[in-house]
Structure 1
Amino acid sequence: MDSSGDTAKAVDIYRDTWVRFLGYANEVGEAFRALVPVSFVWGSYAVATAYVTADAVDKGKKAAIAHGDNPGKTTRVAVAVVDTFVWQALASVIIPGFTINRVCAASLYLLGKSTRWPLPARKWTTTAIGLSTIPFIITPIDRSVDFLLDSSLRKVYNEGKKHD
């Protein structure tokens, strides 16, 4: 409870703080792919994957605490970990990484075909396009992954709860 007597919602460090932005590291890496060594891009995927894994472990620990010694605790913990990991892997790493990669590749190609700009200008423009695309893809991807999991994996473990 807070000082007013209201029950305060617990802050989820992986969703309600700056830590959430670590999940977008690979999109930033993909946006800079034309300008940086590929090891930087792979490093950005390592950061995003560490974030996804940490969030899944956190949700598993929270499920373990919430279910105490109740029957089915192990299953509930496993569901929390798997659901979080799969959701985050798809919504934070795989789909947006692929999307930004293709947006940037298409941008670089089209700029090469339609302009006479020097290669460095085309690469910087591609990076700017990739970075500016990130905010627009987040919500549609999140909603699509919710729909996908609600229509498939969540039916397997009869989990009616959404990711959030």
Structure 2
Amino acid sequence: MSAKDSAENTEKTGSTENAENSENPEVTATGGGRAGVLIAAVLLLACAGLVGYGLLDTEEKPKPSSTPTAAVTYEVTGDGTAEISYLGPDEDGRATVVRDAELPWKHTVRVPLGETPTVAVVLGEKGGQAACTLAIRGQHVQRATAVGEFGRATCSGELPAAGT
């Protein structure tokens, strides 16, 4: 094969193995296209794998609790943002905290009977005014207001144990 034939073959295949052609910038540049296509194909396969994992995720969903619960609605009104903590569907009985919650904010959860549903609001350093309200089974139970820099308010209510 002549040097000219070798150069034409290198241009067609994108191979730069022939040392005679390594000085030709056009021949060397075509080898990068194949690597780019390979990288794109690998990325495409990775994305398809992630999508497939999301669609085929067979992890069991949490089983419904055998403990009787009641619907509790927490609401915080006002302007700006606040830190809100509330008793939610946490197995350990710990509060759920929402930082920098945009006001107004409202959330309904199922709380186990016998627990004390509570919502607390803390304003930031900019202060302002916010009010929390608590409703159990659709009935208003309590309202409190937080005012000023780092103002705080807490609302809680009675949620009788099952059978009472």
What range is the shorter-chain TM-score in? Answer: under 0.3
Bigger helix fraction: 1
Bigger strand fraction: 2
RCO comparison, higher one (Cα < 8 Å, 6+): 1
Normalising by structure 2, what TM-score? 0.22
